[in-house]
């Protein structure tokens, strides 16, 4: 997909909570052996949730964009862990940053690709001229069932993107593509606390099929080969899946290592691909091409080709970097984790 | 605090919006409508930067009803760089790593989330400054 | 304006009165004060109380207490100014008599704190502070005082143990007061090793929550000799306010309302701090004692703690304080405390303070503080010639 008017990122921001639960703690409690899917995962504090994560990421995006929040015409937050089942996260964000009242605001849900879905919608709205800027956020405080394989990776974090005209942007969307099918690899029914998943079915029919199909189709349509990209960012439920997918797409490790954070922070769900992109933008030089492919269970992928502009370097240090959040870490044990994630029965 | 009260305070809680006195220039938080220095009306909204330093602090081990799940937590008087002092919790910091004079910055966190079925109260807290600017 | 005198006092022991309710405690104090004065009625009653609505689900104390004391029909109303409610009630009684509206007034302070425990009581007490900008952030009343104490220690280079003298003096004095809650002395070592509540405030910096009631009977000075007891005269009475929250104060470490009310009371009485023989101050926490002594002119700014460290607050010292135990050791039934202070000052000036007696006491000052300093009431009492 290519809009009639070119759209880009005018500001981006990341947020990762400071607590880390090492995989070894989970293995110790459940008596499991073998190689864990990540080294550790980011855990939110007692006073954090998807809203607070999304808001700090948004403030960082605003700091880099330097725009008037009153000119933001859409505030969209993608998450599978919105604080309310009914009542938008988006209005709280809009109020906090001073974007109210003349703005769209809504929450999106598409498992881990809710945030990139918001970007696709935002590109359309900005390109059409209906709004000057659109805010798209992907954030989650994902919960894994105690003892389930997902517990190793279900993490918290988020990233926010302010979209505007290409002329003002630090990176421009060259082309995008969305790819969805009805594939029930992972779901959560109403009133259920923890999601369910289809074990190994989440792999090939889920993650790999959608990520590879979307990436290959977009590269084919644009005539790009792997070597045309300086960076690759894939949805990262663990470290193994994106590495394997990247190899199958013909990429080399130096293209994906900057944007692959899962080993250090786990799977931040709707935040995952977007945090990877934020880490890349923190380091990238002008005129570099980036391929981003998200994945959301249920299932689908959004793929974007971005090209950084001359405006990027001056804005990289206007807010806390993704790496600074990763470096800010306080290791906790499983007991504290159980308290912070409210897994203890206190009543 | 009830829903209407929390709602009325959303600009203060979420965005640290106070007032500036157009007569004497004093920056005012919390907003109080009449300037405490020159006693003129001061109803001009002013968004504070959220940067300040610790004026004093203490750690609460015996919390009032409604705050039990967060205890122990540290509460501080924070002197904002624009002048006023605010009372607020510190977050993302161990009590023994807090000191008078320490630079801090505003973040938005959950203040209260009673029963997890009601309206969540979000508001300002402060943490050791880490922002780039 | 007429002179006002205290012709009767009464009090209950301070403590955990599991078997008595708010109204019974009030009655005990009122009845004792009426007997002391030798009166059988009154024209009006002012009830000082802070927490009845929160803890006992009972508002409307004026009518309740007046009726329960056998005074059904008289003018009666509750006066609330947080922990300053007791002295505020006395102040209202003073105004009613001084103005000539009433001739015989009962002021009773009563608090029943043990009808609830834990977090609810902590939250109720904290309502003395700003609900929107202090309480919403989880601060407690102890916490607010801890913020002041830490800043005080930082600004003036004072160690925590330098405050010990306040608590040691209060406990030593309480030994001789049969109405006191803690009638046992403490040592410097006890103080240094007490459990931390809200750093830097530990258990022995803090006054205990308790039940209690105290009452005084007021009449015009010109009529005071018609009653059976020895009258004590209110020669200074003033109430001043400051902003509710610490963060709004011009100087958080200065009790402006203490200075203002003390200055007015001194002026009205025509005395200076040097003339005061004893001072019942509001030692809810040791830091409050230091701030109060400074604001009232007994010490320079930042040096109030020295009076304790140098023993000047003990009986026989330059300015004896908390002569019957103070809030720390007599106990702090919040809305009753201000009346207890005045009752104790009266006993001292009548020479009836027993083991706690300050010899030749002629002029006593009592100061009651609401919240962290937003309402402060100062009374100066003079003994009968």
What is the reported pLDDT for A347?
A: 72
Pull the structure tokens for residue A171: 């990176």
Q: Is the per-residue pLDDT at B133 higher than 60? A: no
Domain holding B12, by residue range, is: 3-127
Alpha-carbon gap: B130 to the closest alpha carbon of chain C (Å): 22
Query: What are the pLDDT digits (tens) for C334-365?
Result: 999 999 999 999 999 999 999 999 999 999 99
Give yes or no: residues C8 and C23 share one domain: yes
CATH of the domain at C245: 3.40.47.10
What is the reported pLDDT for C118?
A: 77
Give yes or no: residues A138 and A260 share one domain: no
Q: Establish if B104 belongs to a structural domain.
A: yes
Q: Establish if A2 belongs to a structural domain.
A: no
ipTM: 0.96
Annotation marks residue C332 as catalytic: yes
Query: What are the angstrom distances between the C-alpha of C181 and each of C5, C171, C240?
Result: 28, 10, 30
Give yes or no: residues C86 and C168 share one domain: no
Alpha-carbon gap: B102 to the closest alpha carbon of chain C (Å): 13
3-state class (DSSP) for residue C258: helix
- What average pLDDT does range C227-254 have in this prediction? 96
Q: Establish if A1 belongs to a structural domain.
A: no
Q: Is the per-residue pLDDT at B93 higher than 80? A: yes
Residues 6+ apart with CB under 8 A from C26: C47, C61, C65, C68, C69, C108, C110, C213, C215
Query: What are the pLDDT digits (tens) for C43-89?
Result: 999 999 999 999 999 999 999 999 999 999 999 999 999 999 999 99
Give yes or no: residues C147 and C55 share one domain: no
Q: Is the per-residue pLDDT at B1 higher than 90? A: no
Give yes or no: residues A236 and A145 share one domain: no
Alpha-carbon gap: C282 to the closest alpha carbon of chain B (Å): 22
Q: Establish if B75 belongs to a structural domain.
A: yes
| CB nearest B62 (choices: C140, C147, C151) | C140
Q: Does C199 touch chain B (CB under 8 A)?
A: yes
Question: What Rg do the C-alpha atoms of chain C give, in angstroms?
Answer: 19
Residues 6+ apart with CB under 8 A from C160: C153, C192, C200, C202
Among the options A25, A48, A56, A80, which is catalytic?
Answer: A80
Give yes or no: residues A42 and A81 share one domain: yes
Q: Which residue has the higher pLDDT, B16 or B133?
A: B16
Domain count, chain A: 2
Query: What are the pLDDT digits (tens) for C185-201?
Result: 999 999 999 999 999 99
Q: Is the per-residue pLDDT at C275 higher than 60? A: yes
Give yes or no: residues C131 and C94 share one domain: no
Give yes or no: residues C44 and C171 share one domain: no
Give yes or no: residues A25 and A142 share one domain: yes
Give yes or no: residues C94 and C126 share one domain: no
Domain count, chain C: 2
Give yes or no: residues C291 and C221 share one domain: no
Q: Establish if B106 belongs to a structural domain.
A: yes
Query: What are the pLDDT digits (tens) for A285-344?
Result: 999 999 999 999 999 999 999 999 999 999 999 999 999 999 999 999 999 999 999 999
Check B61 against C134: CB less than 8 A apart. no
Domain holding A154, by residue range, is: 7-170+322-340
Which segment of C175-184, C226-235, C279-288 scores lowest on mean pLDDT?
C226-235
What is the reported pLDDT for B116?
A: 75
Domain count, chain B: 1
Give yes or no: residues A181 and A260 share one domain: yes
Q: Does B73 touch chain C (CB under 8 A)?
A: yes
Interatomic CA distance for residues C347 and C53, integer angstroms: 31
Give yes or no: residues A140 and A191 share one domain: no
Give yes or no: residues C47 and C126 share one domain: no
- What average pLDDT does range C120-139 have in this prediction? 92
Place of tokens 């803690």: C182
Instruction: Give the confidence band of C222 by pLDDT, cuts at 50, 70, 90.
Output: very high
Q: Is the per-residue pLDDT at B132 higher than 70? A: no
Q: Is the per-residue pLDDT at C97 higher than 60? A: yes
- Chains touching chain C, criterion 3+ CB pairs below 8 Å: B
Which segment of A97-111, A183-197, C298-312 scores lowest on mean pLDDT?
A183-197
Q: Is the per-residue pLDDT at A187 higher than 60? A: yes
Domain holding C170, by residue range, is: 119-205+235-383
Give yes or no: residues C92 and C177 share one domain: no
Q: Establish if A244 belongs to a structural domain.
A: yes
Interatomic CA distance for residues C90 and C92, integer angstroms: 5
Give yes or no: residues A17 and A113 share one domain: yes
Q: Establish if B132 belongs to a structural domain.
A: no
Q: Establish if B133 belongs to a structural domain.
A: no
Share of chain C above pLDDT 70, in %: 100
3-state class (DSSP) for residue C287: helix
Test the B interface: residue of C116, C126, C137, C149 with most B CBs within 10 Å:
C137
Give yes or no: residues C253 and C181 share one domain: yes
| CB nearest B130 (choices: A96, A324, A346) | A324
Burial (0-12, 13-18, 19+ Cβ within 10 Å), A192: exposed
Burial letters for C149-174: b for 16+ Cβ neighbours within 10 Å, e otherwise? bbbbbeebebebebbbbbbbbbbbbb
Query: What are the angstrom distances between the C-alpha of C279 and each of A105, C217, C297, C321, C368?
Result: 62, 21, 12, 5, 11
Check B89 against C199: CB less than 8 A apart. no
Give yes or no: residues A200 and A161 share one domain: no
Give yes or no: residues A149 and A270 share one domain: no
Which helix (H) or strand (E) segment holds residue B89: the answer is strand B85-89
Check B63 against C137: CB less than 8 A apart. no
Q: Does B122 touch chain C (CB under 8 A)?
A: no
Sign of the Cα pseudo-torsion (A227, A233, A234, A240, in order): positive
Strand blocks (E) in A87-189: 104-108, 133-141, 156-165, 171-183, 186-187
* CB distance C129 to C139 below 8 Å: yes
Short-list A164, A82, A183, CA closest to A123? A164
Query: What are the pLDDT digits (tens) for A226-264?
Result: 999 999 999 999 999 999 999 999 999 999 999 999 999
* CB distance A304 to A280 below 8 Å: no
CATH of the domain at A247: 3.40.47.10
Instruction: Give the confidence band of A4 by pLDDT, cuts at 50, 70, 90.
Output: very high
Give yes or no: residues C306 and C197 share one domain: yes
Q: What is the DSSP string of C135-175?
A: GGGT--HHHHHHHHHHHHHHHHT--GGGGHHHHHHHHHHHT
Q: Is the per-residue pLDDT at A5 higher than 90? A: yes
Q: Establish if B78 belongs to a structural domain.
A: yes
């Amino acid at each position: 997909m290519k809009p009639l008017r070119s759209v880009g990122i005018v500001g981006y921001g990341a947020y990762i909570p400071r607590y880390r639960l090492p995989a070894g703690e989970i293995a110790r409690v459940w008596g499991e052996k073998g190689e864990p899917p990540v080294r550790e995962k980011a855990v939110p504090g007692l006073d954090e949730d998807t809203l607070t994560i999304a808001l700090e990421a948004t403030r960082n995006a605003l700091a880099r964009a330097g725009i008037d929040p009153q000119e933001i015409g859409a505030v969209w937050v993608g998450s599978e862990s919105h604080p309310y089942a009914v009542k938008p996260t988006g209005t709280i964000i809009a109020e906090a940053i001073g974007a109210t009242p003349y703005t769209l605001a809504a929450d999106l849900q598409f498992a881990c690709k809710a945030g990139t879905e918001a970007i696709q919608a935002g590109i359309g709205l900005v390109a059409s001229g209906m709004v000057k800027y659109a805010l798209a956020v992907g954030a989650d405080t994902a919960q894994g069932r105690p003892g389930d394989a997902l517990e190793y990776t279900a993490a918290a974090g988020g990233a926010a993107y302010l979209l505007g005209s290409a002329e003002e942007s630090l990176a421009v969307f060259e082309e995008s593509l969305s790819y969805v099918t009805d594939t029930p690899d992972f779901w959560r029914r109403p009133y259920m606390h923890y999601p369910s998943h289809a074990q190994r079915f989440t792999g090939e029919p889920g993650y790999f099929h959608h990520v590879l199909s979307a990436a290959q189709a977009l590269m084919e349509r644009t005539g790009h080969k792997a070597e045309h990209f300086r960076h690759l960012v894939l949805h990262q439920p663990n470290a193994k899946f994106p590495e394997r997918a990247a190899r199958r797409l013909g990429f080399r490790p130096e293209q994906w290592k900057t944007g692959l954070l899962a080993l250090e922070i786990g799977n931040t769900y709707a935040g995952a691909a977007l945090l990877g992109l934020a880490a890349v933008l923190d380091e990238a030089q002008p005129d570099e091409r980036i391929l981003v492919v998200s994945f959301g269970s249920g299932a689908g992928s959004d793929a974007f080709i971005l090209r950084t502009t001359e405006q990027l370097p001056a804005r990289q240090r206007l807010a806390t970097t993704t790496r600074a959040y990763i470096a800010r870490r306080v290791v906790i044990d499983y007991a504290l984790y159980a308290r912070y994630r409210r897994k203890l029965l206190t009543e | 605090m009830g829903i209407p009260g929390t709602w009325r305070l959303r600009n203060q809680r979420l965005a640290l919006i106070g007032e500036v006195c157009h007569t004497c220039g004093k920056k005012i938080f919390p907003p109080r409508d009449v300037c405490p220095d020159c006693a003129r009306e001061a109803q001009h909204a002013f968004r504070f930067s959220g940067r300040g330093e610790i004026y004093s602090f203490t750690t609460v081990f015996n919390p009032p009803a409604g705050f039990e799940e967060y205890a122990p937590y540290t509460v501080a008087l924070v002197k904002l760089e624009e002048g006023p002092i605010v009372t607020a919790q510190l977050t993302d910091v161990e009590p023994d790593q807090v000191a008078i004079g320490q630079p801090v910055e505003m973040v938005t966190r959950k203040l209260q989330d009673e029963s997890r079925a009601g309206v969540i109260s979000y508001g300002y807290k402060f943490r050791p400054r880490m922002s780039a600017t | 304006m007429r002179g006002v005198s205290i012709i009767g006092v009464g009090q209950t022991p301070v403590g955990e009165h599991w078997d008595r309710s708010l109204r019974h405690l009030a009655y005990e104090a009122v009845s004792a004060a009426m007997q002391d004065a030798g009166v059988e009625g009154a024209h009006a009653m002012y009830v000082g109380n802070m927490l009845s609505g929160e803890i006992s689900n009972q508002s409307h104390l004026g009518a309740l207490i007046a009726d329960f004391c056998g005074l059904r029909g008289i003018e009666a109303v509750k006066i609330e100014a947080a922990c300053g409610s007791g002295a505020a009630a006395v102040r209202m009684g003073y105004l009613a008599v001084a103005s000539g509206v009433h001739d015989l007034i009962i002021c009773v302070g009563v608090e029943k704190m043990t009808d609830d425990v834990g977090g609810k009581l902590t939250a109720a007490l904290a309502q003395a502070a700003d609900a929107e900008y202090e309480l919403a952030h989880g601060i407690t009343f102890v916490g607010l005082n801890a913020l002041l104490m830490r800043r005080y220690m930082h600004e003036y280079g004072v160690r925590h143990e330098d405050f010990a003298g306040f608590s040691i003096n209060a406990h030593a004095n309480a030994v001789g007061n049969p109405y006191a809650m803690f009638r046992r002395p403490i040592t410097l070592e006890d103080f240094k090793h007490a459990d931390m509540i809200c750093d830097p405030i530990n258990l022995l910096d803090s006054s205990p929550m308790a039940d209690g009631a105290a009452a005084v009977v007021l009449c015009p000075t010109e009529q005071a000799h018609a009653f059976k007891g020895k009258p004590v005269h209110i020669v200074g009475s003033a109430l001043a306010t400051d902003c509710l929250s610490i963060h709004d104060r011009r100087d958080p470490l200065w009790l402006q309302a203490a200075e203002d009310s003390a200055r007015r009371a001194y002026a009205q009485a025509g005395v200076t701090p040097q003339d005061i023989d004893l001072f019942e101050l509001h030692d809810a926490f040791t830091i409050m004692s230091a701030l109060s002594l400074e604001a009232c002119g007994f010490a320079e700014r930042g040096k109030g703690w020295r009076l304790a460290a140098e023993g000047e607050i003990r009986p026989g010292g330059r300015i004896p304080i908390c002569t019957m135990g103070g809030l720390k050791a007599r106990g702090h039934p919040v809305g009753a405390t201000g009346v207890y202070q005045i009752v104790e000052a009266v006993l001292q000036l009548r020479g009836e303070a027993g083991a706690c007696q300050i010899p030749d006491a002629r002029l006593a000052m009592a100061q009651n503080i609401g919240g962290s300093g937003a309402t402060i009431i100062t009374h100066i009492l003079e003994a009968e010639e």
